[in-house]
Structure 1
Amino acid sequence: MTSPHGQALETAADGLPAGLRRPWQRSLTLALLAVAALLSLALLYTRLRNPQGLLGTAYPPGTVAPPLAGTGDDGQPLALSAFKGQTVAVFFGFLNCPNICPTTLAALERVRQTLPERQRKDFVSLLVTVDPGRDTPAELRSYVRYFSPDARGLVIPKTPLRQAAAAWGVGFEYSNVTAPDRYDVNHTTGVYLVDRAGNRRVVWDYTQLNLTDRIAADVRTVMR
């Protein structure tokens, strides 16, 4: 194509001279390229952070689980380190929890049942109570064993409990207090999977716990 003065003009693929292309077309192209680049970076980051394709949010390799220590559901001293060699699903809850805690224990037991029988003893659910003022070790034992013969409970006194929970990224608070032993407890609902070396590998959101097969796949991957 030539200009009115006989000069040659570069013709774009859309049939318009390059100098006459609409500005919004250039902007749209640049925007699409930028979005594609961001998506590629996000995908790359996800694959680097979670190369095994775990359902939950994966931790960087070598993320050591913060310590947990107190009184076990059998009345004896118990620490998370005692489970070394096993895979532990840790979550924070309490016995008067109306739905989240029992639902979580039931979901984890369904996952345990999907494992080969030889591996079931190596998968433990550990409930750390955020209500040590009311939850006794004996009551905790009856509660967790109702859901699974291998589940465990842990009672940590209030002051070290605050510190331990904060190290795990867990929050809890007491509300609607009407008496020293009558109150509600609000708490974080994530479940943290700790591998046999004592590293945190993945955290599942409460809303993911109904995906039994996907959660079980995460557990089998971590147990390898």
Structure 2
Amino acid sequence: MNDASLPTSPSARRPVWTSVLWAILAVGLVLGGAWAYARIKSPYPFYGTVFNVETTSPGLTGTGEDGQPFALSALRGQTVAVFFGFLHCPNICPTTLAALEQVRQTLPEKDRAKFRTVLVTLDPARDDVDKLREYVRFFSPSAKGVFIPEPALADTAAAWGVGYQKSDVKNAATYQVDHTTGVYLVDREGRRRVVWDSTQLTRVDRVAADVREVMR
């Protein structure tokens, strides 16, 4: 008799279903473990995009708005919001700096001196140190401006993942600068922790919550 013609008994099918059930259980355990691990590694649900906590921020050196040499590493011990923009920016740059000052004002008074905004100009041809100082101080007494000449600026921007280029050029002194609008939050140990797009800064409460978490 041909064994293939025989009906399959329930007992013969049971191992298949058992294997399926075990597979489902295994997948559930793996997914549950992955979720738990993620919660342990980053229990706080950041509003911005999170960097690997072990990643040190790229270097950032130039001339500060006070005319003195500037190095981001000198701000270790403070939490710093780094933004790349330019002074002739019609909307994104001023609203970003205003929002970051609002964030600073929402912090407990004891923490406000530990949070600082740094604006790196992407337009060194027009934005000199004196103009930088006047611009950043308009938004916050604690804000820093950084001037970096080309080609060092291009290298610095690339290291931070910032793109920029001139646009709508009318002449040598009249143009716009298209640029990446991310704001990078650097913790007191010099590590990039979070990046927000400028569109997220309208939620000052959520940005401030991210800052408070990083400052803990």
Look up the match of 1:121.
113
- Consecutive unaligned residues of structure 2, counting only runs of 5 or more, are 1-6, 11-27
CA separation of 1:177 and 1:51: change in aligned 2, threshold 3 A: same
The one of 160, 179, 186 equivalent to 1:187 is 179
Look up the match of 1:31.
none
Residue deviations 1:109-168 (CA, integer Å, cap 9, x gap):
111001111111110000000001100111111111111111110000110110010011
1:40 is displaced (CA, Å) by: 6.8
* 1:98 pairs with 2:90: yes
Q: Distance between the aligned counterparts of 1:66 and 1:137, measured in 2?
A: 22
The one of 168, 184, 205 equivalent to 1:213 is 205
Runs of 4+ residues over 2 Å off in structure 1? 7-10, 39-52
Look up the match of 1:55.
47
Residue type at the aligned position of 1:221? E
Look up the match of 2:20.
none
* 1:202 pairs with 2:194: yes
- Consecutive unaligned residues of structure 1, counting only runs of 5 or more, are 1-6, 11-35
User: If each structure's helix is expressed as a fraction of its own residues, which one has the higher value?
Assistant: 2
Aligned residues, how many? 201
Q: Distance between the aligned counterparts of 2:210 and 2:153, measured in 1?
A: 28
Look up the match of 2:77.
85
Q: Distance between the aligned counterparts of 1:202 and 1:82, measured in 2?
A: 20
Which stretch of structure 1 is more off in the superposition, 158-167 or 50-59?
50-59
Give the aligned CA root-mean-square deviation in angstroms.
2.8
The one of 163, 167, 179 equivalent to 1:171 is 163
Q: Distance between the aligned counterparts of 1:110 and 1:58, measured in 2?
A: 22
Look up the match of 1:22.
none
TM-score by length of 1: 0.80
Residue type at the aligned position of 2:144? R
TM-score by length of 2: 0.83
